A and B are shown apart, each in its own frame.
Chain A
Amino acid sequence: MEIFLLDKTIVVVIVFLITLLIAMYSTWAERKVAGFIQDRIGPNRAGIFGILQPLADGVKMFMKEEIIPTQADKALFIMAPGISMLTALLTSSVIPWGSYLEINGRQVMMQITDINIGMLYIFAVVSTGVYGIMIGGWSSNNKYSLMGALRASSQMISYELALGLALISVIMMTETLSLKSIVEYQAINGWNIIYQPLGFLIFFICALAECNRTPFDLPESEAELIGGYHTEYSSMKLGLFLFAEYVNMFISGAIMSALFFGGYNLPFHEELSTVFSHNTLAILGTVSFMLKTFTFIFIFMWIRWTVPRFRYDQLMHLGWKILLPLAMFNVVATGTVILIKMLW
């Protein structure tokens, strides 16, 4: 029991640190990608290739003056960035980062916990993710912040539905809600993207919306709402809000690669297992999982620096009148195929 707890604690700490580290370097990568797409170089002064830029940004954020508006609701104003960060980090607990490692004959799972309702857990945490933004926007006592918060909440509610329906078709195929089982299902049957391309497209678009990434960054649109829900925030509180966005991005990239792109499975597993030991294979699997995740993070950034922002009515039109019926159709189609297979 104690060893189990120790293992879990270590895994939790490692996952936590890696998530934060990757989110940190995502900020750097974002600026680099933005630069390269706009024919610039991006940050390159702090360290070689600007590799120390996140540290410099962090130091800057901490040194900035802390401003709390006098008319703001102080308790909620301070709480909101924390809630944002918390909900962003919570999801990482059910993601299978790899299979297991064998250390001194014990099997250490490279996943914090494999609950049998993992998918629903993710969905629940995502659906509560809007609270940080809403509370932050409301407590600032600023009309732009409030409008950002309202936009965020309506956007998230609208896109959660299509997100959930896109997931349901995957669940119908794999017949499990545990993410680890879904990954293992793909080891036998091939990646889910082959069977669910439409589901993946819907999920991807909704993930963009849930992360408040361009073209769905209406809650924080800097042109119309001067920063939206974080207009009044400064110093590290603003930093936490911005950071939560990158954590969300990393987590949704990880979820997408676990659900649709085989997670930590390696191709030619049989052939490779004769060459490498189990632990090496497990680590290789984790590396491939991370590579897939990074690809998604890159695609997120790539989209951000290509596509302009939606107008509000376009956003609602896309969510309710296009994605939702499409996801519904996808569910019905998947059900029909499963039924036909069963009757065969």
Chain B
Amino acid sequence: MEKLTNRSKVVVKKEMTFLESIYLPAIFGGMWITLKHFFKKKPTIQYPEEKRPFSFVYRGLHILKRDEQGRENCTACGLCAVACPAEAITIVAAERKKGEEHLYREEKYAASYEINMLRCIFCGLCEEACPKDAVYLTEELVPSQYDRKDFIFGKDKLVQPLGTSAHPKTYKPYKK
């Protein structure tokens, strides 16, 4: 049969020499390797106390941003929901009433904005699609839950709380 690649190795079962057949040199060789590992620097990170720095482009939990005056940026255009390859975003739009100008920047706003974190693949396409700079992916990890329904994050969890830093990468919603 013709070989598919030239990477395959021919295995020959040849007689072992005496030194090989008593196995002790091989065992000592193995023990030397493990001993070297014994004194190696350990890569362990003591997780809750120590955390590895995230990459600047890391994409984690979403936030819905507010502008400098604390108004929600989102205008419920639905571009993020369209861009989402996992179809994780559900938006219900509503019209801004009189007297709500301090809450919403545009005339239309998202009455409900839900992201199913079990569907989301954290690709960041919603962030790219957003014309209003409303959706950003932070460095935060999605916390674990016991129930599937708890993974559907509504506006209560997504909207940036008032008075927090505007920059999405330094913003930590779950840190006191």
Contacts and interface: CB of A to CB of B under 8 A. Distances in A.
Do they bind each other? yes
A37 B39 CA distance: 8
A154 interface: no
Interface string A230-252: 00000000000000000000000
Interface stretch (B3-11, B27-35, B89-97, B145-153): B27-35
Contact of A302 (B35, B42, B43): B35
Give chain B's interface secondary structure class: helix
A306 interface: yes
B42 A40 contact: yes
Interface residues of A, number: 12
Contact of B34 (A40, A41, A305): A305
A38 B42 CA distance: 9
Given A36-B38, A302-B35, A41 B44 contact: yes
A37 B34 CA distance: 6
Interface string A29-57: 00001001111110000000000000000
Interface residues of B, number: 12
A43 to B, nearest CB: 12
A303 B30 CA distance: 9
Contacts of A67: none
Contacts of B31: 302-303, 306-307
A307 B42 contact: no
A177 B33 CA distance: 39
A39 B35 CA distance: 11
Contacts of B30: 306-307
A37 B44 CA distance: 13
Contact of B37 (A37, A41, A303): A37
A23 to B, nearest CB: 22
A303 B32 CA distance: 11
Interface string A298-314: 00001101110000000
Main secondary structure of the interface of A (DSSP, over half): loop
Nearest to A40: B44
Contacts of A36: 37-38, 42
Nearest to B44: A41
B121 to A, nearest CB: 31
B102 interface: no
Nearest to A37: B34
A41 B42 contact: yes
A307 B33 CA distance: 11
A306 B42 contact: no
B171 to A, nearest CB: 32
Given A39-B42, A302-B34, A306-B34, 15 more contacts: A33-B38, A36-B38, A36-B42, A37-B34, A37-B37, A37-B38, A39-B37, A39-B40, A40-B44, A302-B31, A302-B35, A305-B34, A306-B27, A306-B31, A307-B27
Interface of B: 27, 30-31, 33-35, 37-38, 40, 42-44
30 contacts: A33-B38, A36-B37, A36-B38, A36-B42, A37-B34, A37-B37, A37-B38, A38-B37, A39-B37, A39-B40, A39-B42, A39-B43, A40-B42, A40-B44, A41-B42, A41-B44, A302-B31, A302-B34, A302-B35, A302-B38, A303-B31, A305-B34, A306-B27, A306-B30, A306-B31, A306-B33, A306-B34, A307-B27, A307-B30, A307-B31
